[in-house]
Chain A
Amino acid sequence: MPVTAAPVDKRLKILDAVIRRQHSRPDALIAVLHKAQELYGFLDAPVLWHVARALRLPPSRVYGTATFYHLFSLKPLGEHTCVVCLGTACFVKGAQTLVDAVAELVAIRPGQTTADGKVSLTVARCIGACGIAPAVVLDGTTHGHVSAGQLTARLEEWTHGS
């Protein structure tokens, strides 16, 4: 794959600074990928190539690691993210109905993003908020004791709001 010279933007500078702070050590790969995803929203090929060169790793290893871990996304996520926890405690408290309700409302399955790029739906394997099950994470904020009605109402705000 040809290396497309991405324009040197601020994000790249921040990423390089993080890599330098890790002394370009190969074992910092996961930490660097976390930072890259935080900056770019997802990990596309140019970013992965850049990380591979900076850490002096074969691109296959960077790609292999990026695809192995669930939290790394190689596709862009939507403007808003809805993560429904499907841990055991949430499962027995009916979290599947939350997933179904969202899936029906925005017509996407878990792991997908709506066509207009507004909402991404993902499921998590326990976010450790079992005491307040069922829990969802909306745009990074955890909410507990959520009902299907509350969740769809919030999503409707997202899809119809500004």
Chain B
Amino acid sequence: MDHDDLQRIAEGERAAAKSAEIRCCTSSGCRASGSKEVLSRLKAAVEANGLGDRVAAVGVGCPGLCSAGPVVQTHPDGAAFGKVTADHADGIVSALSGGSAGAVRIDPHQPFFTKQLRIVRATAGQIDPERIEAYIAAGGYEGLYRVLQRRPDEIVADVTASGLRGRGGAGYPTGLKWATVAKMPPGQKYVICNGDEGDPGAFMDRSVMEDAPHQVLEGMAIAAYAIGANQGYIYVRAEYPLAIERLQTAITQARKAGLLGRGVFQTPFEFEVEIRIGAGAFVCGEETALIASVQGLRGTPRPRPPYPAESGLWDRPTLINNVETFATIPAILRNGPAWFAAIGTATSKGTKIFSLTGKVKNAGLVEVPMGTTLREVVEQLGGGTADGKAVKAVQTGGPSGGCVPASLLDTPIDYESLASIGSIMGSGGMIVMDDADRMPEVARFFMEFCADESCGKCVPCRVGTVQLHGLLTKLVEKRATRHDLDTLIELCHLVRDTSLCGLGQSAPNPVLSTLRYFAGEYEALLQPEEFARPTRRSAVPLTVIS
């Protein structure tokens, strides 16, 4: 494969394109609502109407509006249909030539679509994720080609200049991480893609892996060249079978096309990628635990330093980035770091994908520039709550994050702003809650999750989360006193300050953030003390927090 071959494939694909396309979402969400059958009926309807020479029915990635699934779009007229069943197939095909579709139309000009800026998800909902030719025609692997014409340190400098920060949650500058691994002495190095998206309520990475597996591979290959690695691993949750299947297909195709393996683009660069499948452990999203799991061990974290950048997989320098981070890389190298750095805020560059779910009208995936306010996302893109009730809070960052009350919805989305109000960016889960959701119960839900997922290695997390869950249960069941609440707060600080890894350190966040903004709900559940207790000196009084 050389650059001419790449262009030939792209041109061939464009030449073979039919004048009209009916695009049916085949991602996990729409599949669960029967989109596979819809697609086969659409294909049959195209044939039956003798339109095979100018219309193609294709399966594409997720257009984003999951709550209206299965979603079918027609191209180039831009019409979109929601809740499509197989029986609507004939109608949609006839709508191409002016007939009535019979299916529910979705307005493609509503804010949900127009307010997005799609960089990572640029091809989602447009191309068939199972064909490498479609990705190449959309400009795929062009970034890798250009990278291979330059020196590795220039690539690291570009990524640093772009201002990209890790999309897995912590927001560590990606360029700095790459530079650290690149600076390690030459020898065996590894690239790992963290696709262990364990945050309940988040499915951006699943979608990126399903919709743009080649984009993830291209990002990994660019990273491997920049840091001097020749072996990569993608660690995917076993709960995402379609993502695994599509990544495997993509690896096979890329290897066959000469875009993975030895002598990529006729350069000395070689890179192999293997998939490692998780087995259901949230803690494996933590980088050192993930490395242990890739090695076939129990996924328990270890103290850092040494950081994986110095000593990671099999004690070799290892670069670990999140799926979305890798998927952002090809666009940065294609369009230049300045282009990327111009999007977003001063400290948070580019776009971020959020999975907008819960009591929201338009549930699904949205990609917005950093600096967009939570209110814009929830009220304009999300369309407010489904039944028109007032939004009470928005939970971001999953079990490591916090609940943002409605009064703070004007906070811009960037790493620092969210941290300043007691939440985190996290991997991108955004769950909208209304009055029916009781905050102490939400806090208990997350604590149950953390207690269940604690790996058991360090005591504060293993014992602390169970105790916190017990106290929250007591509270929810209206058996707790103020003394218990003080203990709860004290224990939250202890677990946060003394746990080994991010899971334990952030487990109290949902409790602390709901206490900060919804203290009244906790107070209302308290029972009077049965007998006088000595005052606790070490406990943080609730008044300080509220």
A interface residue numbers (CB < 8 A to B): 25-31, 33-34, 61, 64-65, 68-72, 86-89, 91-93, 124-133, 135, 141-145
- Stretch of B15-23, B302-310, B353-361 with 4 or more beta carbons under 8 angstroms from chain A: B353-361
Is the beta-carbon distance between B364 and A131 smaller than 8 angstroms? yes
Is the beta-carbon distance between B31 and A142 smaller than 8 angstroms? yes
Can you list 7 contacts pairing A with B, beta carbon distance less than 8 Å?
A: A65-B298, A88-B200, A88-B445, A89-B431, A128-B202, A129-B32, A130-B202
Report B-chain residues with C-beta under 8 Å of the C-beta of A145. Answer: 33
B495 to chain A, nearest CB (A): 20
Is the beta-carbon distance between B299 and A92 smaller than 8 angstroms? no
Judge whether B271 is part of the interface by a CB distance below 8 angstroms: no
Report A-chain residues with C-beta under 8 Å of the C-beta of B251. Answer: none
Contact residues, B250-305 vs A (CB, 8 A): 276-282, 293-300
Judge whether B28 is part of the interface by a CB distance below 8 angstroms: yes
Contact residues, B18-49 vs A (CB, 8 A): 28-29, 31-33
Report B-chain residues with C-beta under 8 Å of the C-beta of A92. Answer: 358-359, 431, 433, 437, 442
Q: Select the residue from B281, B296, B453 with max chain A CB neighbours within 10 A.
A: B296
Report B-chain residues with C-beta under 8 Å of the C-beta of A144. Answer: 29, 32-33, 69
B35 to chain A, nearest CB (A): 11
Q: Select the residue from B28, B279, B297, B300 with max chain A CB neighbours within 10 A.
A: B279
Report A-chain residues with C-beta under 8 Å of the C-beta of B358. Answer: 88-89, 92-93, 133
Report A-chain residues with C-beta under 8 Å of the C-beta of B298. Answer: 64-65, 68
C-beta contact mask, B184-201 vs A, less than 8 Å → 1, else 0? Answer: 000000000000011111
CA distance A65 to B299 in the complex (A): 8
Cross-chain contact of A125 among B66, B355, B452 (Cβ < 8 A)? B452
Report A-chain residues with C-beta under 8 Å of the C-beta of B67. Answer: 131-132
Judge whether B429 is part of the interface by a CB distance below 8 angstroms: yes
Contact residues, B367-404 vs A (CB, 8 A): 395, 398
Cross-chain contact of B32 among A25, A124, A132 (Cβ < 8 A)? A132
CA distance A64 to B295 in the complex (A): 14
Cross-chain contact of A87 among B28, B201, B433 (Cβ < 8 A)? B201
Report B-chain residues with C-beta under 8 Å of the C-beta of A141. Answer: 32
B interface residue numbers (CB < 8 A to A): 28-29, 31-33, 66-67, 69, 197-203, 206, 237-240, 276-282, 293-300, 355, 357-359, 363-365, 395, 398, 429, 431, 433, 437, 442, 445-446, 449, 452-453, 455
Cross-chain contact of B293 among A30, A34, A61, A88 (Cβ < 8 A)? A30
Is the beta-carbon distance between A125 and B449 smaller than 8 angstroms? yes
Report A-chain residues with C-beta under 8 Å of the C-beta of B294. Answer: 27
Is the beta-carbon distance between A135 and B363 smaller than 8 angstroms? no
Is the beta-carbon distance between A28 and B296 smaller than 8 angstroms? yes
Cross-chain contact of A132 among B69, B240, B280, B445 (Cβ < 8 A)? B69
CA distance A89 to B294 in the complex (A): 29
B30 to chain A, nearest CB (A): 8
Which residue from chain B places its CB closest to the CB of A135 in the assembled complex?
Answer: B32
Is the beta-carbon distance between A126 and B355 smaller than 8 angstroms? no
Cross-chain contact of A126 among B69, B202, B278, B295 (Cβ < 8 A)? B202
Q: Do A65 and B32 contact each other (CB < 8 Å), given the known contacts A70-B281, A71-B279, A130-B203? A: no
CA distance A130 to B297 in the complex (A): 30
Is the beta-carbon distance between A129 and B29 smaller than 8 angstroms? yes
CA distance A29 to B297 in the complex (A): 8
Cross-chain contact of A89 among B28, B200, B365, B453 (Cβ < 8 A)? B200
Q: Select the residue from B200, B201, B445, B453 with max chain A CB neighbours within 10 A.
A: B200
Cross-chain contact of A27 among B199, B295, B452 (Cβ < 8 A)? B295
Q: Do A31 and B277 contact each other (CB < 8 Å), given the known contacts A88-B445, A132-B32? A: yes
Report A-chain residues with C-beta under 8 Å of the C-beta of B359. Answer: 92-93
Which residue from chain A places its CB closest to the CB of B203 in the assembled complex?
Answer: A128
Report B-chain residues with C-beta under 8 Å of the C-beta of A34. Answer: 238, 277, 279
A9 to chain B, nearest CB (A): 24
Report A-chain residues with C-beta under 8 Å of the C-beta of B279. Answer: 30, 33-34, 69-72
Is the beta-carbon distance between B239 and A127 smaller than 8 angstroms? yes
Q: Do A88 and B296 contact each other (CB < 8 Å), given the known contacts A131-B364, A132-B66? A: no
Q: Do A88 and B431 contact each other (CB < 8 Å), given the known contacts A30-B277, A30-B279, A33-B279? A: yes
Report B-chain residues with C-beta under 8 Å of the C-beta of A30. Answer: 276-279, 293, 296
Which residue from chain B places its CB closest to the CB of A92 in the assembled complex?
Answer: B358
Report A-chain residues with C-beta under 8 Å of the C-beta of B201. Answer: 87-89, 126, 130
CA distance A86 to B449 in the complex (A): 9
CA distance A31 to B248 in the complex (A): 14
Is the beta-carbon distance between A29 and B296 smaller than 8 angstroms? yes
CA distance A61 to B295 in the complex (A): 12
